[in-house]
């Protein structure tokens, strides 16, 4: 009795090992027709801009000097203002230092991925394939336009110098009197000196880093038969 049970167990184990866990259907004497038609238009525009430019560091303007005094004779007498003298005109002020501009760093990054008409067809899994014809028709049309632009700039900076002040004007010696020998030996002071211009401004820009990348994929087709 025990030997018969053992024989039955051995036969059941052999059948179990010989039977697939999943039965796959066979394809015999058949025609597989796969038709894919795609059309379309895709436009992609990506822009990035970094700019630390267009900075200005202007200088200052010195003050103007004062004018010297005037000597005038308007009386009716004679020998007026003999030996009169005026003081010197004031000097113009000096221009100060120009301004200073310091910018930080600037970065710009642009990237785009464009895909038009991408198809993937999987057939299966199947069993055995015998005397079978596969006809695959793919028709793709369309326009893919991709523009990726990245711009960096540290230019167009201006550092202007300072302007010195204008020197003063010496005074006038005039006589409108009816007398004679007026303003004899009268003198006016010296004209003032113009001020000195200061040092120009300073512009210090940071670092500009620009990265740009673009990937375009058009009319990609994959047909896969698994058996």
In this structure, is residue 194 part of a structural domain? yes
In this structure, is residue 124 part of a structural domain? yes
Token pair belonging to 185: 């030996």
Helix (H) or strand (E) holding 9: helix 2-18
Burial class (CB in 10 A: 0-12, 13-18, 19+), 210: middle
pLDDT at 166: 80
In this structure, is residue 7 part of a structural domain? no
In this structure, is residue 6 part of a structural domain? no
Count CB neighbours of 89 within 10 A.
Answer: 22
Token pair belonging to 5: 């049970």
Count CB neighbours of 139 within 10 A.
Answer: 11
Among 55, 84, 51, smallest CA distance to 70 is for 84
pLDDT at 75: 58
- For residue 183, CA distances in Å to 87, 153, 207 come to 16, 67, 69
> Could you give the number of structural domains in the chain?
1
In this structure, is residue 5 part of a structural domain? no
C-alpha span between 213 and 120 (Å, rounded): 26
pLDDT at 35: 85
Burial class (CB in 10 A: 0-12, 13-18, 19+), 92: buried
Domain with 38 in it: 23-225
Average pLDDT, consecutive stretches of 10 residues, N- to C-terminus, the chain (227 residues): 44 45 64 84 89 80 73 58 64 77 86 88 74 78 88 80 76 60 62 75 85 88 77
pLDDT at 70: 67
pLDDT at 16: 42
Peptide bond connecting 125 to the previous residue in cis, omega within 30 degrees of 0: yes
C-alpha span between 214 and 114 (Å, rounded): 8
In this structure, is residue 168 part of a structural domain? yes
In this structure, is residue 8 part of a structural domain? no
The greatest distance separating any two alpha carbons of the chain, rounded to the nearest whole angstrom, comes to 169
pLDDT at 53: 77
Token pair belonging to 136: 């695959």
In this structure, is residue 136 part of a structural domain? yes
């Amino acid at each position: 009795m025990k030997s018969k049970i053992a024989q039955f167990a051995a036969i059941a184990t052999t059948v179990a090992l010989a039977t697939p866990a999943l039965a796959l259907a066979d394809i015999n004497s058949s025609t597989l027709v796969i038709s894919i038609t795609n059309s379309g238009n895709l436009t992609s525009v990506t822009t990035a801009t970094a700019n630390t430019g267009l900075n200005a560091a202007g200088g200052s303007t010195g003050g103007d000097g004062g004018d010297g005094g005037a000597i005038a004779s308007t009386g009716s007498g004679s020998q007026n203002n003999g030996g009169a003298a005026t003081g010197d005109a004031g000097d113009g002020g000096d221009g100060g230092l120009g301004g200073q501009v310091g910018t930080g760093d600037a970065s710009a990054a642009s990237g785009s991925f464009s895909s038009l008409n991408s198809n993937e067809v999987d057939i299966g899994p199947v069993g055995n394939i015998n005397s079978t014809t596969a006809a695959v028709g793919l028709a793709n049309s369309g326009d893919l336009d991709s523009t990726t632009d990245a711009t960096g700039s540290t230019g167009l900076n201006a550092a202007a110098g300072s302007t010195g002040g204008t020197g003063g004007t010496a005074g006038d010696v005039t006589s409108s009197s009816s007398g004679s020998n007026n303003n004899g030996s009268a003198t006016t002071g010296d004209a003032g000196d113009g001020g000195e211009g200061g040092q120009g401004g300073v512009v210090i820009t940071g670092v500009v880093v620009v990265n740009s990348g673009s990937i375009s994929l058009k009319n990609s087709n994959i047909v896969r038969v698994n058996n």
